[in-house]
Amino acid sequence: MAPAATSGIAALAAPLIRLARRGSLLVATDFDGTLAPVVRDPDRAAPLPEARRALEQLAAHTPVAVISARDLANLASRCRITGALLLGSYGQEPWLQLSSGEPPPAPPRPRPELLQLAQELSAYTARMPGVGVEAKALGVAVHYRNSPEPRRVGPLIRRQVEELCRSHQLQVVRGRQVVEARPFRSGNKGTALRLLLDRLGPRGCVYAGDDLGDLPAMRELHSQRGELELAAAVGVGSSEVNPELVAEADLLLEGPREWAALLAEVAQGTVSATGPAGR
């Protein structure tokens, strides 16, 4: 861990603990690349154990939310964090708070026009090894992380998705070796975070994310600095980190393990002061 990151974590942990002890800190986080390291098979993604434990401890004292581009059913199956609010599809599906042992919801069936788009993109990418098309509740994603030539196929896929989006009247959303087609006015993580803040009314919030889809949440958080005692945007870095994310983040960490370490420190400081039971 770089010295600057170490000092930044130490400086941020103390005010987070103070707010969490009062039950007035919203801990909001992205899933893939933030709580869970990016893996070649998305169906094998899982939160780091230390991050999961810390969030479950915190959720007993202060609000915790996971905001993801995954469908809610997909997110709930991979992110079993008792007490945390789960927001799938950028918060556009109904929010879910799983209790211990509760089964995840059934996967929704995508709309017919999205299934049609998925078929068209599957036909286009059929001869691209390692490229996968995912039809989601509110979008279609093309993943090319497993391609042997991601730098070559990435631009081709982006152009094809953009062309099809024009004919289907959808918008293009880019991410880390993924391109997604989504309906216009379908919201984003900034919209989801604003709704969380309005509904929960915390005095402070920390949001962590690793990709372009997290920028709206970071910008929304920064726009509310005048209303909050603390508004901290944490960037979770990687070899693929986007310069826009670096510029927007108040603190840049090296990866999910540093985010898990910060969460563990805040959880330990909160639980030691308030005890193991709820708020």
Residues designated catalytic:
30
253 CB-side CA count, 13 A: 25
> Which two tokens mark 237?
């870095």
DSSP per-residue codes, the chain? --HHHHHHHHHHHHHHHHHHHTT-EEEEE-SBTTTB---SSGGG----HHHHHHHHHHHTTS-EEEE-SS-HHHHHHH---TT-EEE-GGGTSPPEEPPTTPPPPPPPPPPHHHHHHHHHHHHHTTTSTT-EEEEETTEEEEE-TT-S-HHHHHHHHHHHHHHHHHHHTEEEEEETTEEEEEETT---HHHHHHHHHHHH--SEEEEEE-SGGGHHHHHHHHHTTTT-SEEEEEEE--TT--HHHHHH-SEEESSHHHHHHHHHHHHHHHHHHH-SS--
Contact 2, 254 (CB under 8 A): yes
